[in-house]
Amino acid sequence: MIHLKSSDEIERLFEAGQIVRVVHDALEKLIAPGISTAELDAEAEAIIRRHGGIPAFKGYRGYPATICASINEEVVHGIPSPKRKLKEGDLLGIDLGVILNGWIGDAARSHVVGLGSEEAERLNRATRESLDRAIAAMTTSGRLGDIGHAIQSHVEAQGFSVVRQFVGHGVGRNLHEDPQVPNYGRRGTGMRLQEGLVLAIEPMINAGAFEVEVLEDGWTAVTVDGRLSAHWEHSIAITADGPRVLT
Ligand code: MF3
Ligand code: CO
């Protein structure tokens, strides 16, 4: 079932989304060789609570932390640890969600720590650009397949591949609402995009093959070929005036 949001509800989602944005901005400044992903997690939780929010991932299906921190071949859902210290050249994906007054914002960014390989930089840029293109496709004249097509066509043209096992989603009072939003697809197919639809679009893009597997911890998804992966995500509302990025 799809929950369309009123402009008032979109305003509340925007407020939750702005905490997500502030936390990402703060973490971005801390990212450097030597800091652990557990330290980033603690900082994220402190900022969220200071703003009156609640970490949306902590306790969700038993997830143990505020952020997901996924390094290099880790695709998504890496669990923060004091033992994981960032190194120069790492490709770090940070994903986080915030609940504010019952409404949720969800967004992810990837970063190259210090100076990275050309491949890491290219993959990260292509993934971020694919999200921008997907957002541009979120208009009331579009269809769901236009979103996946925008992502897939952009990254595959550069030799990268789209993860199939995880998808974007509706977001609102729940972290995961209908519809599922694959990061691949055909233009002009799927449901019509409507005013009030709020989606978390989250391309997960691999440098090599698209296959991923989940480690023994039950969470960390890694590329099967061990090559790099990048992840970007925004929560976006479709309005009469076009897409509105909430995060
Ligand atoms: N952005 C991811 C998602 O929407 C993060 C979920 S992590 C979890 O699926 F711990 F909350 F599951
Ligand atoms: Co999400």
Task: With beta carbons less than 8 A apart as the criterion, state whether 51 and 22 touch.
Answer: yes
pLDDT in tens, 115-154: 999 999 999 999 999 999 999 999 999 999 999 999 999 9
End-to-end Cα separation, the chain, in angstroms: 24
Within a domain: residue 237? yes
Tokens of 7: 């402009």
**pLDDT reported for residue 9:** 98
Distance CA 219, CA 134 (A): 26
pLDDT confidence of residue 71 = 99
pLDDT score, position 11: 98
Could you tell me if the CB of 106 is within 6 A of ligand 1?
yes
Give distance in angstroms: CA of 201 to centre of ligand 2. 7
133 falls within a domain = yes
Measured from the Cα of 95, ligand 1's closest atom is 1
- How many whole angstroms from 163 Cα to the centroid of ligand 1? 15
Locus of tokens 């976006």: 236
Q: Would you say residue 72 lies in a domain? A: yes
Percent of the chain with pLDDT over 70: 100
Residue 4: band (very low, low, confident or very high) from pLDDT cuts 50, 70, 90: very high
Residue 247: its pLDDT value, please?
Answer: 98
CATH number of the domain where residue 26 is located: 3.90.230.10
Q: How far is the CA of 67 from the centre of ligand 1 (A)?
A: 9
Name the nearest CA neighbour of 105 among 171, 25, 9, 6: 171
Question: Among candidates 67, 110, 64, 111, which has minimal Cα distance to 88?
Answer: 111
Q: What confidence tens digit (pLDDT) does each residue in 17-56 have?
A: 999 999 999 999 999 999 999 999 999 999 999 999 999 9
The 10s digit of each residue's pLDDT in 65-99 is: 999 999 999 999 999 999 999 999 999 999 999 99
* 55 in any annotated domain: yes
**Is residue 2 in some structural domain?**
no
User: Could you give the CA distance from residue 40 to residue 78 in angstroms, rounded to a whole number?
Assistant: 13
User: Per DSSP, what are the bridge partners of residue 100?
Assistant: 103
Nearest-atom index, ligand 1, CA of 175: 4
Which two structure tokens, joined as six digits, stand for 66? 């505020």
Domain count, the chain: 1
Range(s) of the domain holding residue 164: 7-245
Compute, in angstroms, the gap from residue 241 CA to the centroid of ligand 2: 24
- β-sheet with 212-214: strand ranges across: 74-76, 221-223, 212-214
pLDDT per position as a tens digit, 141-197: 999 999 999 999 999 999 999 999 999 999 999 999 999 999 999 999 999 999 999
Q: Say if 1 falls within a structural domain.
A: no
Whether 59 is in the pocket of ligand 1, judged by its Cβ within 6 Å, is no
Any residues with CB less than 8 A from the CB of 236 and at least 6 apart, and which?
135, 138, 198, 199, 200, 201, 243, 244, 245, 246
